[in-house]
Chain A
Amino acid sequence: MRRLFPVLLVLCMALFAYAPFLILNAPYESTMGLVQKIFYFHVSTAITMFVSAFTCGIASAIFLFGRRPAADRVGFAAAELTVLLGLVVLISGPLWARKAWGLWWQWDARLTSTLVMWLVFQAYLLLRRFGGPGSEKLAAAVGLFGAALVPFVYWSVNMWRTVHPTTNVVPTLDASMRGPFLWCVAAFLCLYVLLLAARTELEKRRARLDELYLALED
């Protein structure tokens, strides 16, 4: 990963540097107009948030059943990033909704389930912060539960009647909008890999510090 990091960093910077030009040149959606431009960052961060939640779930499962501390470090990093990306989704969504729906928030299935999922990952972080020794196993179980919520959040718009658009929007997106959208998704996924690597490295060094403190006590 260390050799790949600078390559990914350059790629990520290039992707984000060109993204505004693509978004500005993308056509206006006929009913919503300019405010629809939030879509390119809002949906990209939502997809990356789902990827992050799955990463946390898989890493937590490996840690719980395979007892690998490295997986726990990845799970912790992914949980923190899920909370960060969720925050962006939960703020950018209402900003779009205020113009498109005329209100900031609606307690519908998609919005509420996203908030619940975000709170589950907040619970993971709180457990790690204040749970004391051995809390990593309990937190891993919470991470697994959080990842299990992703399909419900994704299909909630198809299962219940909501004001939020269904999952049909992205597959049927106009070609002139699909290009900028996929570009933004690639940029956010690239950024996610970089942030995950950096955050996991921090956990790795903390683990090394704990080992050194134990050695010092002995």
Chain B
Amino acid sequence: MTSPVSKTKRMRVLRATFVAVLLLILPAIAHRQPPAQEGFVPVDQLPGAEQMPAAPLVAAAYAVAWAAVLLYLFSIWKRLGTVERELADVAKRIEAGSRR
């Protein structure tokens, strides 16, 4: 016959053992390596995230090049227009000053 004190002690040991085993096993489960892969995976069988289509990237690269050049051309045209207007204005003021 076992005393209630020794039964409680045994239960405590069992619980401690269970927690210790859990603590040892859980990290091992969490850091488990994925199963080894044989050979290679064909491109069309890759997960969706890894199947990046090339066409949008190519289109974006060419669009960026053209947009940069066209915006720059527009900026030169605008700046030339501003300078031309200022040139005409100053020339007029000089002419008016020389007449006086």
Contacts and interface: CB of A to CB of B under 8 A. Distances in A.
Chains A and B form a bound pair: yes
A198 B73 CA distance: 9
A165 to B, nearest CB: 16
A183 B86 CA distance: 40
A208 interface: yes
A212 B76 contact: no
Given A33-B54, A35-B54, A198 B76 contact: yes
Interface stretch (B10-18, B31-39, B91-99): B91-99
A206 B83 CA distance: 7
B61 interface: yes
B80 interface: yes
A35 B64 contact: no
B76 A202 contact: yes
Given A95-B60, A216-B97, A202 B80 contact: yes
Contact of B87 (A34, A199, A209): A209
A88 interface: yes
Interface of B, helix, strand, loop or mixed by DSSP? helix
Interface stretch (A36-44, A61-69, A141-149, A168-176): A36-44
A35 B43 CA distance: 15
A205 B84 contact: yes
Contact of A38 (B61, B79, B90): B61
A92 B93 CA distance: 48
A215 B94 contact: yes
Interface string B63-84: 0110011001100100110011
A92 B94 contact: no
Interface residues of A, number: 31
Contact of B90 (A42, A87, A212): A212
A161 interface: no
A205 B87 contact: yes
B58 interface: yes
Contacts of A98: 52, 57
A138 B87 CA distance: 28
Interface of A: 33-35, 37-38, 41-42, 45, 84, 87-88, 91-92, 95-96, 98-99, 191, 195, 198-199, 201-202, 205-206, 208-209, 212-213, 215-216
Q: Which 10 A-B pairs have the closest CB atoms?
A: A35-B54, A34-B54, A92-B61, A212-B90, A38-B61, A95-B61, A95-B57, A205-B83, A91-B64, A88-B65
19 contacts: A34-B55, A41-B62, A91-B64, A92-B61, A92-B65, A95-B58, A95-B61, A96-B57, A99-B52, A99-B57, A191-B69, A198-B73, A198-B80, A201-B80, A202-B83, A205-B83, A206-B83, A212-B87, A213-B90
Given A191-B69, A205-B83, 4 more contacts: A42-B61, A99-B54, A99-B57, A206-B83
